[in-house]
Amino acid sequence: MSFNGKILKVDLTSSEVKVEEQPESFYRRYQGGHGIGLYYLLKESKHDVDALEPENPLIFAPGLLTGLRAPAVPRYVVISKSPLTGALGKSEAGGYWGPELKKAGFDALVITGSSKAPVYLLIRDDKVEIKDAGHLWGSETGPVQEKLREELGDKGTQVVQIGPAGEKGVLYANIVNNLAHFNGRNGLGAVMGSKNLKAIAVRGSGKLKAKNEERLKEIFRWTAGQVKEHPLSSMLHKHGTPAGIKTVNAQGGLPTNNFELGVFEGAEELASEDYSLKPKGCYACPVVCKRVVEVNEDDIVVDKMYGGPEYETLAALGSNCGIGDLKVVAKVNEICNRNTLDTITLGMTISFAMKCFEEGIIGPDDTDGMELKFGNKDVLIPLVEKIIKREGIGDLLALGSKKAAEKFGPESKKYLVESKGQEAPMHDPRVKTGLGLQYALSINGADHWFAQHDPFFAAEDGFGVIEMAGLGLTEAVDPLDTGMAKVRLIYYTSVLNSVYDLLGVCVFGYVARSLIPLNFLLDQVVAATGWKTSWFELMKAGERAMAMAREFNRRQGLEQEADKLSESFYRPLAKGPFAGKITLKEEDLNDAVEKYYALAGWNKSGGVSRNKLEELGLGWLVQ
Ligand code: SF4
C-alpha cells in the first residue's frame, strides 16, 4: 500500500509522543497531503488562536503516492494558520523529506505545543526523540544539515529545518529540506520558530509496496523515456523554470517595478545560463528540472550547495525590483536559502518599499539612509540582511508589505499587490485573468498553483485543451476572458490541482504543464492502493479538501470580503503590448468569483453550504 496507517503526534510542551492509527477508509476519504493535514488542523486547532501561539498546530503530510517509485510525486504539505495572513497557511515542497517520512512508517506528523528551549525532532523508524538543539540555534541551514548528519553518523538522514529568519519570526520565513526544496509561502517557518523547533531529521528503513508494482514501473519507464521528447518536459529538463523569464517577458506580463510594467529590458540577462551547473531533481523524478548555480567572481561568490534561483525568484528579486544583475539575484537567493526566507514575499515587499520611496511616501529617514530605488542593486543585499536580523527598516519589512503599509500610511496602500495579505507571485492577472480569479479565491492568499494557467487553454491545440478534454475542458478560452468559460476552467482545474496536492504530485511532471497524462495518474492511484477508484472519486476528494480549507478560513472570519484583489491589479500596465489598456475590471472579477461559488456549491458569502459539507462526508464540520 502507499500508506502506513499511522500518524505521528508530538506535543512539544509536554514532550509527549503518540502514534494514532487510521483505517483504510480514512485514506480513501482524505487521501494524503492537504486532505490529511486539514483534517488534523480542523480537529486540533481553536478558531481564535494566534498563528505564533503554541496552540497553533503545525502539520507535515506527504501525498498519498509520495514515497513510491512513481514519477514526479515527491511532495508533502505543511499546514498551519499563517502568521502572514491570519488565513490558512499551506505550502508544498518536493525534494526528499516527504518520501523519507513515509519510509519511516508515518503518513503525517502533527506538532502541537512549544518547547521552552530549542529542540530538534529525530525520527528513526518508530524511534522518535525530542533532542536539544541549543548548539544549532542561530546557525544557517547548510551547517545545520551537515552537523546533524555528522552527529547521527548517517549521510542519508533527511533534514527539514528553519534558518535564522524562522527563529527571528520574520513573517514570511519558510521551511527547507535538503537545502533547496521549500515550503515557501505563508510564513510557516515562523510558526516552526515559535515552537522552538529547529529541525526534523528523519531516516526510514521501510519500503512502501504498491499493490501493483509492475504498473508503476511501466509508467516510470515510459516517463523516463519520454522526458526529452516532450516539448514541455524537455524544456524544463534543459533550462528549468528560469526559461519562463523570456517567454513571459515576450507576452508582456513579466512583473517589473512592483507590477507597474510588463516588460523588462534586463530579462535576457536574468534568464542567462552562464552560472548554471548540471540540473538536479527530486526523489524518483525523471524530469530533473532544478537548477544549480555557482558563481566564483571577484565581487560575488554563490555556493552551489543551495541550488539556484527559480523563475519566481528571478522575477521577484530581479525584474520586479528593476534589477537585471543575475549574480546579485543569485547571491540574494543563496542568502534566502541559507536563512529560509520566501523569495516571492521578500521581493514583493522590497519592490513595494521601492515604489513608496520613489513616490516620496517614505524617505531616507525611514530606510536607514538607503536609496530604495528600482534598479539600485547595491541596496539589495544589505536590506535583506537587515530583514533577516530584524534591524532598523528590516524589522518593519519583516512583517510583509501589507503590515508595512499600515506604518507607511494610507497613500501607500494603492501600491500593494496582494490578496488576503499575501503578496502576488510572478504572474500578472492583467495578461491572464484566470490568475486574478486564482489569487482572489485561493484560501491561503495569492497563490499561482490554485488552478491551471490560462495560456495552456488559449488555443484549440493548446496542451490544456488536449490533455484536459477528459475533464470536459474541450474548448479554447481567451486568456483575457472573465466569463463563465473562464470560471469553469478555473473551477475544474482548481479541483484537479487539489487532487494533485492530495497525491503529492509535482505540477512540473504532469499535464498541462508537463508530460504525464491524467489517465496515468489514475492508473498510479489504482496500482498503489488496489482501490477500484475513478476520476469522479478523486475529484470529490479534491473538492472535500477545498471545502475543509474554506471552512478553516470561515472560522477565522474570512469569507467573501477576503476574496478580493488589491486595487493595483485594476490599473493598466505602463509598458509592453498591454500598455494603457484596461484588461481586468473589478466588477468582472467579483462577478466571476460569485459564479465560482455557485459552481462549487458554496453560498453567496463564500462559505460551504451545509448540504455540500454533508454531501462530501464532512458532516462532522457542521457540528
Ligand atoms: S519536475 Fe522538477 S520540481 Fe518536480 S519533482 Fe521533478 S525535479 Fe522536482
Check residue 28 and give its pLDDT.
98
Report the pLDDT averaged over residues 401-409.
98
CB 509 less than 6 A from any atom of ligand 1: yes
User: For residue range 555-596, what is the model confidence (pLDDT) as tens digits?
Assistant: 999 999 999 999 999 999 999 999 999 999 999 999 999 999
Give the residue whose CA is nearest to atom 8 of ligand 1: 282
CB 383 less than 6 A from any atom of ligand 1: no
Check residue 48 and give its pLDDT.
85
- Residue extents of the structural domains in the chain: 6-203, 228-415, 433-514+534-622
Report the pLDDT averaged over residues 132-154.
98
Check residue 94 and give its pLDDT.
98
User: For residue range 188-218, what is the model confidence (pLDDT) as tens digits?
Assistant: 999 999 999 999 999 999 999 999 999 999 9
Nearest by Cα to 61 from 82, 41, 34:
34
Tell me the β-bridge partners of 10.
17, 111
Q: What percent of the chain has pLDDT over 70?
A: 100
- Torsion 549-554-559-565 (CA) sign: negative
Instruction: Tally the residues of the chain.
Output: 623
Report the pLDDT averaged over residues 51-60.
98
Distance set, CA 358 to CA 96, 184, 325, 364, 568 (Å): 43, 29, 21, 11, 16
**How far apart (Å, rounded) are the C-alpha atoms in residues 421 and 425?**
12
Atom of ligand 1 nearest to the CA of 509: 1
CB 281 less than 6 A from any atom of ligand 1: yes
Nearest by Cα to 496 from 528, 518, 475, 527:
518
Q: Is the pLDDT of residue 46 over 90?
A: no
At the topology level, CATH places domain 433-514+534-622 in: 1.10.599
Query: Are the beta carbons of 425 and 446 closer than 8 angstroms?
Result: yes
CB 72 less than 6 A from any atom of ligand 1: yes
CB 73 less than 6 A from any atom of ligand 1: no
Would you tell me the crossing angle of helices 484-503 and 535-555 to the nearest 10 degrees?
Answer: 90
Rounded to the nearest angstrom, the distance between the alpha carbon of 282 and the centre of ligand 1 is 5
Out of 288, 291, 312, 516, give the residue to mutate to test ligand 1, the one with the largest number of ligand atoms within 8 Å of its CB: 288
Give the residue whose CA is nearest to atom 2 of ligand 1: 289
Report the pLDDT averaged over residues 410-425.
98
User: For residue range 504-522, what is the model confidence (pLDDT) as tens digits?
Assistant: 999 999 999 999 999 999 9
Out of 508, 511, 514, give the residue to mutate to test ligand 1, the one with the largest number of ligand atoms within 8 Å of its CB: 508
**DSSP state string for 3-26:** --SEEEEEETTTTEEEEEE--HHH
Report the pLDDT averaged over residues 443-470.
97
**How far apart (Å, rounded) are the C-alpha atoms in residues 136 and 257?**
38
pLDDT, the chain, mean: 97
Query: Are the beta carbons of 365 and 379 closer than 8 angstroms?
Result: no
Report the pLDDT averaged over residues 266-275.
96
Task: For domain 228-415, say whether CATH 1.10.569.10 is its number.
Answer: yes
Atom of ligand 1 nearest to the CA of 279: 7
Cell numbers given for 396 = 518593519
Q: Which helix (H) or strand (E) holds 239?
A: helix 231-239
User: For residue range 82-128, what is the model confidence (pLDDT) as tens digits?
Assistant: 999 999 999 999 999 999 999 999 999 999 999 999 999 999 999 99
Out of 177, 289, 449, give the residue to mutate to test ligand 1, the one with the largest number of ligand atoms within 8 Å of its CB: 289
Out of 506, 513, 521, give the residue to mutate to test ligand 1, the one with the largest number of ligand atoms within 8 Å of its CB: 506
According to DSSP, residue 125 is labeled T
User: For residue range 361-375, what is the model confidence (pLDDT) as tens digits?
Assistant: 999 999 999 999 999
Rounded to the nearest angstrom, the distance between the alpha carbon of 67 and the centre of ligand 1 is 14
Rounded to the nearest angstrom, the distance between the alpha carbon of 583 and the centre of ligand 1 is 33
Nearest by Cα to 602 from 550, 532, 528, 549:
550
Atom of ligand 1 nearest to the CA of 507: 4
Identify the band that residue 47 occupies on the pLDDT scale cut at 50, 70 and 90.
confident
User: For residue range 299-336, what is the model confidence (pLDDT) as tens digits?
Assistant: 999 999 999 999 999 999 999 999 999 999 999 999 99
Check residue 354 and give its pLDDT.
98
Rounded to the nearest angstrom, the distance between the alpha carbon of 401 and the centre of ligand 1 is 30
According to DSSP, residue 272 is labeled -
At the topology level, CATH places domain 6-203 in: Aldehyde Ferredoxin Oxidoreductase;  A, domain 1 (3.60.9)
**How far apart (Å, rounded) are the C-alpha atoms in residues 219 and 148?**
36
CB 500 less than 6 A from any atom of ligand 1: no
Task: Name the one residue in this structure whose C-alpha cell is 517520512.
Answer: 101
